[in-house]
C-alpha cells in the first residue's frame, strides 16, 4: 500500500502484500481513525451540552436499526455511490475533480427539466433512460472547460472545477426559476414527475432502484480501473504523466476522457436523485454531497468495494443525523464536523503508519 494522503491521488494502487497482515493493518489505519473521530466529535457534542452516547445511539437507531430508517439510508446511498464512482475515476487518474457538486446539480436540473415533459410523449422506461442520459451528458459538458484547460494549458483543475461548481449551482437555480419553472405552484421549482413514473422501488420496499444503478456504477468503475487496458492507461497518466507520454499514451486526450467520465457519473448521480426520490428540482436546493464523499473515497483508498461500505455508514449517519436534528436539536452540520475529523485523523494515521514502516526499513 503506498502513501495515499501524502501524495497525489493517483499514486495509490498496486499493492497486496501478505493478505492477513494487510487486513490487520487496514483495520488499524482505518478503524483507528474512525473511532478517534467519533470520540473527538463526541467531545464537541459534550461541549455543546449534548450527551454524545445518546446522540450516537439515536443516530444508529434511526439510520441503521429501524426498517424505515434503513430503507431511507439505502435510498440515500444511490447518488452518493455514483459520486464515489465519479471520484474514483478521477482520483485514480490523478485528476482533482472538486466540481462534482456543480455537475451533480446540473444533472439533477436536466433530469427535472426533461422527465416531466418526456413522460407526456414517451413511455416511462424511455423517459427515465433519456432523462438519466441527459443528466450524465450535461454533467460531462460542464466539465469540458476545466478538462480542456488542464489538458492543453496545464491550468490547475482544483481551481477551475471549484469555480465551475459555484457557477453551476447558480446556473441551475437560474434555469429552475426562469426557464423550467412549474407555473402550477407558488414555490419556485420544476414540474414534477409523478411518483408512479419514477425509478421503480425494490421488492416492494421504499428503497429506490437508483441503489442498483449506484452499486453497478461503483463496481464497474472499480473493475475497469483495475482490470482493463483503459483503466491501466488512466492509472499510468495519474501516477506518472511523463511515463505515460513516454509510453506513447495521448495524455491530453485521456485527461479529457477522465473529466468526461467522472463528470458524467456526477451528473448521473443528480439524475438518479431526481428520478428516484424527488421527482422535481426546487430552487436553491443544494445538498453538497460532493465535498463529503471526497473523504469517504479517500478512506476507501479508491477501492470501489470499500467505498460501498463507507457510503453505507455515511448514509446512515446522514439519515440518522437529519432525524436527530428534528428530535434532539443538534443540527445535521454535526456530520460535517465528524467527516472533517475523520479526514484529518485518517491522513494522520497514514502518515504515522508510513513513518513506522520506513523506520522498520
Partner 1 sequence: MPVRSAPATAPVVELLGVTKRFPGVLAVDRVDLALLPGEVHALLGENGAGKSTLVAMLSGLVEPDAGTVRVEGRERRIGSPRAALQQGISTVFQHVMLVPTLTVLENLVLGMSWWRRPDRAELERRLAAIRSEFGITLDLDQPTGELSLGEQQQIEIVRALLRQSRVLILDEATSMLTPSGADELGALMRRLVKSGLAVVFITHKLDEACRFGDRITVLRLGRKVGELAPEGLAAMDQAAAVDEVVGLMFGDRSIAEARPTRLRKAEGAPILTVRGLTVTGATRLARVDDVSFDLRPGEILGIAGIDGNGQKQLAEALAGQRTVATGSITLDGRDITRDSVAERRRLGLRYLTDDRIGEGAVGGFPVATNTVLKEIGAPPFWSGGIERPGRIASHARELIDRYDVRTPDETTPIGRLSGGNIQKVLLARELSGEARVVVFNKPTYGLDVQNIMASRNRIAAIADASLAVLLISTDLEELLDVADRIAVMAAGRLTGIVANDEGARARIGALMIGRAA
Partner 2 sequence: MEALLTAAFLTALLAGAVAAGVPLLLAGLGEQMSEKAGVLNIGIEGMMLMGAYLGFLVAFESGNVALGFVAGMAGGMAVALFMAILCVGLGLNQIVIGIGLTLGVEGLTALLHHFQFSTTYPRLAAAWRLPVPGLVELPVIGPALFDRHPLVYLAFLLVPLLAWLYRRTALGLTLRAAGEKPAALDVAGIDVQTVRFLAVLFTGAMAGLGGAFMANVAAGIFIPFMTGGAGFIGIVLAMLARGRPAWVLIGAVIFGGALSLTTALQVAGLNVPTDLIQMLPFAAVMAVLVLYGRKARLPAALGLPYVRGAR
What are the residues binding partner 1 (CB under 8 A)?
2, 11, 13-16, 227-230, 232-233, 235-236, 239-240, 242-243, 245-249, 358-361
Contacts of 81 (CB under 8 A, 6+ apart): 211, 214, 215, 217, 218, 269, 307, 308, 311
**Torsions phi, psi for 181 (to 5 deg):** -65, 135
Ramachandran category for residue 4: left, alpha or beta (phi over 0 → left; psi -120 to 50 → alpha): alpha
Nearer to partner 1, 98 or 254 (CB): 254
Confirm or reject binding of residue 292 to partner 2 (CB under 8 A).
yes
Nearest to partner 1 of 2, 71 (CB atom)? 2
Q: Which one of the spans 105-113, 172-180, 229-237, 242-250 is the region binding partner 2 (CB under 8 A)?
A: 172-180
If the CB atoms of residues 62 and 354 are measured against partner 2, the closer one turns out to be 354
**With respect to partner 1, which residue has the nearer C-beta, 90 or 317?**
90
Distance between CA atoms of 91 and 231, rounded to whole angstroms?
12
Tell which residue, 295, 294, 221, 298, has the closest CA to residue 261: 221
Taking the complex as a whole, the smallest distance from the CB of residue 327 to partner 1 amounts, in Å, to: 47
| 170 contact choice in partner 1, partner 2, none (CB below 5 to 8 Å, kind-dependent) | partner 2
Q: For 208, phi and psi rounded to 5 degrees?
A: -70, 145
Site for partner 2 in 37-66 (CB under 8 A): 44, 48-49
Q: How near is the Cβ of 234 to partner 1 at its closest, in Å?
A: 10
Grid cell at residue 141? 459538458
Residue 229 to residue 71: CA distance in whole angstroms: 38
Binding partner 2 (rule: CB under 8 A), the pick from 141, 144, 162, 219 is 162
Give alpha helix (H) positions in 15-99.
19-47, 52-60, 67-92
Cβ–Cβ under 8 Å, residues 102 and 169: yes
CB 10 to partner 1: min, Å: 9
Q: Which does 44 bind (CB under 5 to 8 A by kind): partner 1, partner 2, none?
A: partner 2
The item of partner 2, partner 1, none sharing an interface with residue 60, based on CB under 5 to 8 Å by kind, is: none
- Using CB under 8 A as the binding rule, whether residue 144 contacts partner 2 is answered as no
Q: For the chain, how far is it from start to end, CA to CA, in angstroms? A: 15
| Binding string, residues 104-143; x marks residues near partner 2 by CB under 8 A | ----------------------------------------
Of 78-86, 153-161, 205-213, 226-234: span binding partner 2 (CB under 8 A): 153-161
All three cell numbers of 85, joined, read: 464512482
Q: Which residue has the cell 448514509?
A: 315
Cβ proximity to partner 1: between 20 and 359 the closer is 359
In a 3-state reduction of DSSP, which class is residue 279? coil
CB of 312 to partner 2, least distance (A): 20
Residue 34 · residue 298 · CB < 8 Å: no
Choice from 38, 60, 144, 337 touching partner 2 (CB under 8 A): 337
Amino acid at each position: 500500500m503506498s502513501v495515499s494522503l501524502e501524495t497525489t491521488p493517483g499514486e495509490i494502487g498496486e499493492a497486496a502484500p501478505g493478505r492477513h497482515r494487510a487486513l490487520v493493518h487496514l483495520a488499524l489505519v482505518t478503524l483507528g481513525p474512525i473511532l478517534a473521530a467519533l470520540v473527538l466529535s463526541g467531545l464537541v457534542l459534550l461541549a455543546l451540552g449534548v450527551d454524545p452516547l445518546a446522540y450516537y445511539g439515536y443516530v444508529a437507531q434511526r439510520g441503521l436499526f429501524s426498517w424505515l430508517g434503513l430503507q431511507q439510508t439505502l435510498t440515500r446511498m444511490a447518488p452518493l455511490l455514483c459520486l464515489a464512482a465519479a471520484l474514483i475515476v478521477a482520483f485514480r487518474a490523478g485528476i482533482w475533480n472538486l466540481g462534482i457538486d456543480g455537475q451533480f446539480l446540473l444533472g439533477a436540473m436536466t433530469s427535472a427539466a426533461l422527465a416531466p415533459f418526456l413522460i407526456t410523449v414517451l413511455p416511462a422506461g424511455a423517459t427515465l433512460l433519456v432523462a438519466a442520459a441527459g443528466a450524465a451528458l450535461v454533467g460531462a459538458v460542464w466539465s469540458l472547460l476545466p478538462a480542456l484547460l488542464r489538458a492543453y494549458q496545464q491550468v490547475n483543475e482544483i481551481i477551475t472545477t471549484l469555480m465551475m461548481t459555484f457557477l453551476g449551482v447558480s446556473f441551475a437555480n437560474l434555469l429552475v426559476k426562469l426557464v423550467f419553472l412549474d407555473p402550477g405552484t407558488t414555490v419556485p421549482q420544476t414540474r414534477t414527475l409523478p411518483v408512479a413514473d419514477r425509478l421503480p422501488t425494490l421488492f416492494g420496499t421504499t428503497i429506490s432502484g437508483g441503489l442498483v444503478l449506484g452499486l453497478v456504477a461503483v463496481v464497474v468503475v472499480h473493475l475497469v480501473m483495475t482490470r482493463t487496458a483503459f483503466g491501466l492507461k488512466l492509472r499510468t497518466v495519474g501516477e506518472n504523466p511523463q511515463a505515460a507520454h513516454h509510453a506513447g499514451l495521448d495524455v491530453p486526450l485521456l485527461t479529457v476522457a477522465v473529466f468526461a467520465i467522472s463528470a458524467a457519473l456526477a451528473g448521473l448521480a443528480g439524475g438518479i436523485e431526481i428520478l428516484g426520490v424527488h421527482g422535481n428540482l426546487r430552487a436553491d436546493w443544494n445538498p453538497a454531497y460532493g465535498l463529503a464523499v471526497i473523504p469517504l473515497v479517500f478512506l476507501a483508498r479508491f477501492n470501489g468495494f470499500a467505498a460501498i461500505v463507507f457510503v453505507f455508514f455515511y448514509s446512515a449517519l446522514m439519515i440518522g443525523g437529519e432525524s436527530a436534528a428534528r428530535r434532539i436539536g443538534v443540527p445535521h452540520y454535526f456530520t460535517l464536523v465528524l467527516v472533517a475529523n475523520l479526514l484529518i485523523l485518517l491522513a494522520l494515521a497514514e502518515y504515522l503508519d508510513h513513518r513506522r514502516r520506513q523506520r522498520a526499513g
